[in-house]
A and B are shown apart, each in its own frame.
Chain A
Amino acid sequence: QSVLTQPPSVSGAPGQRVTISCTGSSSNIGAGYDVHWYQQLPGTAPKLLIYGNSNRPSGVPDRFSGSKSGTSASLAITGLQAEDEADYYCQSYDSSVVVFGGGTKLTVL
C-alpha cells in the first residue's frame, strides 16, 4: 500500500488529454512538500518529467504539466501521442522518508 495513491491505469486516444491523480495526506502533499513526476518506458530507468509540482526540466514537451492542490497533485498530458504510453509515478516527502505513488500505466488507444 503506497503512501501516495495513483490510479493503476488510465487510457486515451491520440490527441486527447488525460490526467493522472496522486492523492496524499496532511503529512506529505498537504504539508506543503513538493510533488515530482516520473515517466518510465518499458525496460528503462525512470525519467524526471515534472519537478516542484509544476516545473518541466529542459527537453520535456509542454504537453506535460503538473499541478497541486490541498492533499493531491495531478499530471496532465495533452495531445496524447503513442510514445507517451508508459508508467508514471508521483513522488513526495513524508516524515524523513521519500514516498512514491504506486504508479499509473498509461495506454494510448
Chain B
Amino acid sequence: EVQLVESGGGLVKPGGSLRLSCAASGFTFSSYSMNWVRQAPGKGLEWVSSISSSSSYIYYADSVKGRFTISRDNAKNSLYLQMNSLRAEDTAVYYCVPGGVEDAFDIWGQGTMVTVSS
C-alpha cells in the first residue's frame, strides 16, 4: 500500500524556521519526482516546490523562492522541506505528493499543519 506520512509541522514565530519531512513507502520512491503542495486555512491549493528523482531539477513557487529549500534522500525514502524566514502567509497544511510538474497528483498524504504566529 502506498503511504506518505508528513511530519515536522507546528507553531513557529514569524522569521523562524521549520523542517518538514515526508516518509514514503509502498512505491519506488527513487523513481519519482516529488512535490510539496500547501493549503492555507479556508483557501485553495498552492504548489510550493518540486524535485526530480535524482535531485537534478528543482523548482519553486515565487512565493517561497529564496526562503524554502526542497531536498530528498532516496536511501531513506524521504522528502524534506526546509522553511526559513517564515511569514504568517506560510500558515497552511503542507502535503507531499509524488509526480512531475506536468503530472496528475494521484496520491496525497494526510498533510502536516504549519502555523506561523507570534
Chain A residues in contact with chain B, CB under 8 A? 2, 33-34, 36, 38, 40, 45-48, 51-52, 57, 87, 89, 91, 93, 96-103
Contacts and interface: CB of A to CB of B under 8 A. Distances in A.
Interface stretch (B71-79, B84-92, B106-114): B106-114
B59 A97 contact: yes
Contacts of A51: 104, 106
A48 B44 contact: no
B115 interface: no
A89 B45 contact: yes
Contact of A93 (B46, B102, B105, B109): B102
Given A93-B101, A96-B101, A97-B101, A46 B61 contact: no
List of 10 A-B pairs having minimum Cβ-Cβ separation, nearest first = A51-B104, A98-B47, A45-B108, A36-B104, A103-B44, A48-B106, A93-B102, A100-B45, A102-B44, A98-B101
Contacts of B95: 45
Contacts of B111: 45
Nearest to B45: A100
A46 B108 contact: yes
A58 to B, nearest CB: 10
Given A34-B104, A46-B105, A100-B46, 20 more contacts: A33-B102, A38-B45, A38-B105, A40-B45, A45-B111, A46-B45, A46-B108, A48-B105, A52-B104, A57-B106, A89-B45, A91-B45, A91-B105, A93-B101, A96-B101, A97-B47, A98-B37, A98-B101, A99-B47, A100-B47
Contacts of B45: 38, 40, 46, 89, 91, 100, 103
Main SS class of interface, A: strand
B55 to A, nearest CB: 16
A45 B108 CA distance: 7
A55 B109 CA distance: 22
Contacts of A40: 45
Contacts of A91: 45, 104-105
A58 B101 CA distance: 22
28 contacts: A38-B45, A38-B105, A40-B45, A45-B95, A45-B110, A45-B111, A46-B45, A48-B104, A48-B106, A57-B106, A89-B45, A91-B45, A91-B104, A91-B105, A93-B101, A93-B102, A96-B59, A96-B101, A97-B47, A97-B59, A98-B47, A98-B50, A98-B101, A99-B47, A100-B45, A100-B46, A102-B44, A103-B44
